[in-house]
């Protein structure tokens, strides 16, 4: 073991929102918005370190359950337990894109490449292509998560018993099904589109090679896995569910028969609850069950602490498009905004 000089802590701003942080997203210009369990969207000031209070608008009657940046990069999408998918813009306007009449909207995915939006509602997935609306499904159970392939040609939905892959250009067609017993809570395409990974209720992750349909099961997590992230280059798959940064290697021949790279964190008696990949460098931001934030550097194979515990689990993390800013939020509503740009 060798010692490294303690890095100077990056500038950060803390904000208390007093509601569960459901999602965080930066728009293309770097503006940060936050969706909460109170059904509100909070817009943070353009200068991340300004002490100006956030502006809040009400988007849902109950809670917001899902949040993303819209496909045009200029607005945000929020899905709620009132069954509404709303587009909210920085000026505070709210437009209803979808109303599923009380069915909760629990996951949203966007394809900027093809200007597509998808939202779950019970066993269906609604695909929004311009003014067209397609209802995909019903799936074998409630859809837990969705994601587009990197080129937007496919939409994967995870559910009990596996995942379904729809062709976005032919939404009426029967999807390709990938079967694996159990409840699949999250789904993510690898950046090279060769793999589809799911996180499962049964303390494991499952990965399919899409060309051959061959699959692999990665087990040994302490708890169910809820969050997955591929590194920007697709070389690593990182997930929540243990006290370590567990990184499965997908460079070269892939992870079959290989143990994962496990990086020690400084968190004791806490598990990782959220992971988010940096857009252009081999970094993964990790949030813990006790509120701490750490960053795994996959190239240097080490984990650096970024923020101390708060006693509330980290529930959301987002990177800005340029990768210089990262924002985190907890179930208790504590926001932390970091400016990672080297200071002059």
Partner 1 sequence: MTSGAPNLIPVTVLTGYLGAGKTTLLNRILTEDHGKKYAVIINEFGEVGIDNELIVNADEEIFEMNNGCICCTVRGDLIRIIGGLMKRSDKLDGLIIETTGLADPAPVAQTFFTDDDVRAKTKLDAIVTVVDAKFFQDRLKDSQEAEEQVAFADVILLNKTDLVSADELKLVEAKIREINKYAKIFHTQNSQIPLDQILDRGAFDLQRILEVEPHFLHDHHHHEHDGDITSISVTLDGPVNPERFRMWISAVLREKGQDILRSKGVLAVDGDDRRLVFQGVHMLMDSNFGQPWREGDKRASKLVFIGRNLDGVALKRGFDACAQKR
Does residue 312 touch partner 1 according to CB under 8 A?
no
Measured from the CB atom, the residue of 140 and 323 that comes closer to partner 1 is: 140
The residue assigned the tokens 């813009």 is 89
Which of residues 160, 262, 312, 332 is near partner 1 by CB under 8 A? 160
Q: Does 137 bind partner 1 (CB under 8 A)?
A: no
Residues 179/199, Cβ–Cβ less than 8 Å: no
Token pair for 102: 């009380």
Of the candidate residues 13, 22, 242, 314, the single one contacting partner 1 (CB under 8 A): 22
Of 118 and 225, the one with the shorter C-beta distance to partner 1 is: 225
DSSP H/E element including 280: none
Between 200 and 310, CB nearer to partner 1: 200
What is the x/- site pattern for partner 1, positions 260-299, by CB under 8 A?
A: ----------------------------------------
Binding string, 49-88, against partner 1, x = CB under 8 A?
A: ------------xxxxx---------------xx------
Q: Which stretch binds partner 1 (CB under 8 A): 4-12, 136-144, 228-236, 257-265?
A: 136-144
Burial environment of residue 307 by CB neighbours within 10 A (0 to 12, 13 to 18, 19 or more):
buried
Q: Does residue number 38 form part of the binding site for partner 1 (CB under 8 A)?
A: yes
* β-strand partners of 12: 338
Name which of residues 93 to 112 contact partner 1 (CB under 8 A): 102, 104, 106
Token digits of residue 204? 């494991």
Helices (H) and strands (E) in the chain, counts: 0, 30
Distance from C-alpha of 300 to C-alpha of 152, rounded to nearest angstrom: 32
Please provide residue 119's backbone torsions phi and psi, each rounded to the nearest 5 degrees.
-145, 140
Considering only 10, 54, 171, 182, the residue that binds partner 1 (CB under 8 A) is 182
Of 262, 264, 267, give the one whose Cα is nearest residue 291: 267
C-alpha span between 224 and 148 (Å, rounded): 23
* Site residues for partner 1 per CB under 8 A: 18-20, 22, 36-38, 61-65, 81-82, 102, 104, 106, 122-123, 141-142, 144, 160, 181-183, 200-203, 223-224, 331
């Amino acid at each position: 073991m060798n010692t490294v000089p303690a890095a100077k802590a990056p500038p950060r701003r803390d904000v208390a929102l007093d509601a569960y942080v459901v999602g965080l997203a930066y728009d293309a210009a770097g503006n940060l918005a936050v969706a909460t369990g109170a059904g509100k969207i909070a817009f943070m000031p353009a200068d991340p370190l300004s002490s100006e209070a956030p502006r809040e608008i009400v988007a849902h009657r109950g809670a917001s359950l899902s949040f993303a940046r819209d496909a045009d990069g200029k607005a945000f999408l929020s899905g709620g337990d009132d069954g509404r998918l709303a587009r909210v813009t920085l000026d505070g306007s709210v437009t209803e894109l979808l109303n599923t009449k009380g069915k909760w909207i629990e996951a949203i995915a966007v394809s900027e490449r093809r200007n597509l939006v998808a939202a779950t509602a019970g066993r269906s997935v609604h695909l929004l292509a311009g003014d067209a609306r397609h209802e995909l499904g019903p799936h074998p159970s409630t859809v837990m998560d969705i994601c587009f392939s990197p080129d937007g040609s496919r939409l994967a939905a995870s559910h009990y018993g596996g995942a379904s892959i729809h062709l976005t250009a032919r939404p009426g067609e029967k999807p390709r099904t990938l079967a694996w017993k159990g409840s699949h809570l999250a789904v993510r395409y690898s950046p090279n589109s060769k793999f589809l990974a799911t996180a499962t209720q049964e303390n494991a992750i499952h990965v399919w090679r899409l060309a051959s349909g061959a699959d692999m099961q990665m087990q040994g997590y302490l708890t169910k896995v809820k969050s997955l992230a591929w590194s920007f280059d697709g070389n690593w798959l990182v997930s929540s569910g243990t006290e370590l940064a567990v990184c499965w290697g997908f460079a070269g021949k892939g992870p079959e028969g290989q143990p994962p790279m496990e990086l020690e964190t400084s968190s004791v008696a806490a598990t990782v609850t959220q992971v988010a990949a940096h857009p252009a460098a081999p970094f993964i931001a990790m949030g813990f069950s006790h509120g701490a934030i750490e960053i795994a550097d996959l190239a240097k194979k080490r984990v650096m602490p970024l923020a101390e515990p708060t006693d509330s689990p980290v529930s959301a993390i987002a990177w800005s498009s340029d990768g210089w800013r990262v924002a985190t939020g907890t179930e208790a509503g504590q926001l932390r905004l970091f400016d990672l740009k080297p200071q002059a």
